[in-house]
Amino acid sequence: MKKTSTRLADGRELLYYDSRDDAVRDAVDPRPLDPVATTSQIRCDPLLGDRVAVASHRQARTYHPPADECPLCPSRDGRHSEIPAASYDVAVFENRFPSLAGDAGRCEVVCFTSDHDASFADLTEEQAGLVLEAWTDRTAELAGLPGVRQVFCFENRGAEIGVTLGHPHGQIYAYPFVTPRTDLMLRSVAAHLARTGRNLFDDVVARERAEGARVVLEGEHWVAFVPYAAHWPYEVHLYPKRRVRDLRELGDAARTEFPQVYLELLRRFDRIFGPGEPPTPYISAWHQAPFGPSDFAPEFALHLELFTVRRTSGKLKFLAGSESGMNVFINDVPPETAAARLREVASE
């Protein structure tokens, strides 16, 4: 893998991750872009204790690509996108309209391939492995920025999730605080450790493997299951069998096997609702331990949570009164049924 760091015309960082070690990345961004002006502000809710990123600059965009011109495609035929090269393997750049910026964090866009019409599930194992290398490198680098407490790599896929760019891409948020979900998990880990002397993640994974009813697939180094109390109609959690805190600590064997396991999961997701159904919208989210002072971060387990908001053919799960008003999820698909379906649609 070769990594090349460059700058876009407005000073934002652009990185190429190439599978070829002799790749040359010297294309210059010729666009007359104004410097990025961001005004992200993190506000704390006094009742809930959580934070809201207020990013008014996202409403006042100075650079509007025409709807028929994808900003994530390579620059070709006199058309200039966010990526000056004529093709690329994996490209990462700072979001021009970030939700978090400056002292309030950093947002990056990860382009998985220069093929506009592909999806992650269409990538080869080599390409998916390169994306894993990029996620790992970004985690290591962003962890070193002052004030960053947590790095979140994720993909929103499908218009149903609110994605407006069809080009296969994900995002990375570097938060200047520990997110509420991670904080909750760490509290559960602390309580479990005090009660039993054991690691909660280890016990959860061991229980799922022993019961088996919700296991979706198991490799030599990874196991995927629908959690006992899944929130979403189809939800899969993927864990490396050897517990590590974050992507940086993932061993070579687990790294090598990851593309095969993850691509299979994504392909099964597209088959859940049967042939002829449009691609399954999903959110894929890496959970990693926070950085900096934290008593229980060493007990955290890196894992990926993959879920869809589609509950049946043509119908979406909405976060309505109970979910949005009270944080109580109602799931119409029993986790054991979801797991059985995800085993049924395995690749031949």
Any idea which residues carry the catalytic annotation?
A: 169
What is each CA distance from 24 to 85, 86, 156, 279, in whole angstroms?
10, 12, 30, 35
Asked if 167 touches Zn ion (CB under 5 A), the answer is yes
Give whichever of 72 and 266 is closer to Zn ion, judged by the CB atom: 72
Contacts of residue 136, Cβ cutoff 8 Å, sequence gap at least 6: 247, 248, 250
Give whichever of 83 and 223 is closer to Zn ion, judged by the CB atom: 83
- Smallest distance, Zn ion to C-beta of residue 58, A: 21
Asked if 116 touches Zn ion (CB under 5 A), the answer is yes
Give whichever of 149 and 167 is closer to Zn ion, judged by the CB atom: 167
Give whichever of 72 and 172 is closer to Zn ion, judged by the CB atom: 72
Q: Give dist(CA 223, CA 237) in Å, integer.
A: 8
Q: Smallest Cα–Cα separation from 154: which of 57, 288, 7? A: 288
Three-state SS at 191: helix
Segment interacting with Zn ion, rule: CB under 5 A, options 152-160, 162-170, 216-224, 248-256: 162-170
- Candidate residues 8, 15, 73, 216; the one interacting with Zn ion per rule CB under 5 A: 73
- Smallest distance, Zn ion to C-beta of residue 84, A: 14
Asked if 70 touches Zn ion (CB under 5 A), the answer is yes
- Smallest distance, Zn ion to C-beta of residue 170, A: 14
Asked if 118 touches Zn ion (CB under 5 A), the answer is no
Contacts of residue 2, Cβ cutoff 8 Å, sequence gap at least 6: 16, 17, 18, 20, 21, 22, 23
Question: Which residues face 348 on adjacent strands?
Answer: none
Question: What is the number of other CB atoms lying within 10 angstroms of the CB of residue 174?
Answer: 24
Asked if 169 touches Zn ion (CB under 5 A), the answer is no
Segment interacting with Zn ion, rule: CB under 5 A, options 28-36, 89-97, 113-121, 172-180: 113-121
Give whichever of 73 and 261 is closer to Zn ion, judged by the CB atom: 73
Closest residue to Zn ion, based on beta-carbon distance: 70
- Smallest distance, Zn ion to C-beta of residue 74, A: 8
Q: Smallest Cα–Cα separation from 144: which of 243, 246, 43? A: 246
- Smallest distance, Zn ion to C-beta of residue 185, A: 35
Segment interacting with Zn ion, rule: CB under 5 A, options 115-123, 124-132, 192-200, 310-318: 115-123
Give whichever of 57 and 116 is closer to Zn ion, judged by the CB atom: 116
Q: Give dist(CA 331, CA 72) in Å, integer.
A: 35
Question: Which residues face 169 on adjacent strands?
Answer: 111
- Smallest distance, Zn ion to C-beta of residue 109, A: 12
Whole-angstrom Cα Rg for the chain? 20
Residue 81 tokens, joined? 């996108």
Residue 90 tokens, joined? 């994996």
Encoded amino acid at 136, one letter: T
Angle at CA of residue 9, ends 8 and 12, nearest 5°: 45
Place of tokens 């704390």: 44
Q: Give dist(CA 17, CA 85) in Å, integer.
A: 12
- Smallest distance, Zn ion to C-beta of residue 165, A: 7
Asked if 72 touches Zn ion (CB under 5 A), the answer is yes
Segment interacting with Zn ion, rule: CB under 5 A, options 68-76, 209-217, 249-257, 321-329: 68-76
Helices (H) and strands (E) in the chain, counts: 6, 15
Asked if 110 touches Zn ion (CB under 5 A), the answer is no
Segment interacting with Zn ion, rule: CB under 5 A, options 63-71, 98-106, 155-163, 234-242: 63-71
Give whichever of 168 and 240 is closer to Zn ion, judged by the CB atom: 168
Q: Smallest Cα–Cα separation from 123: which of 236, 315, 284, 5? A: 284
Number of residues that bind Zn ion (CB under 5 A): 5
Segment 227-266, which members bind Zn ion (CB under 5 A)? none
Enumerate binding residues for Zn ion (CB under 5 A): 70, 72-73, 116, 167
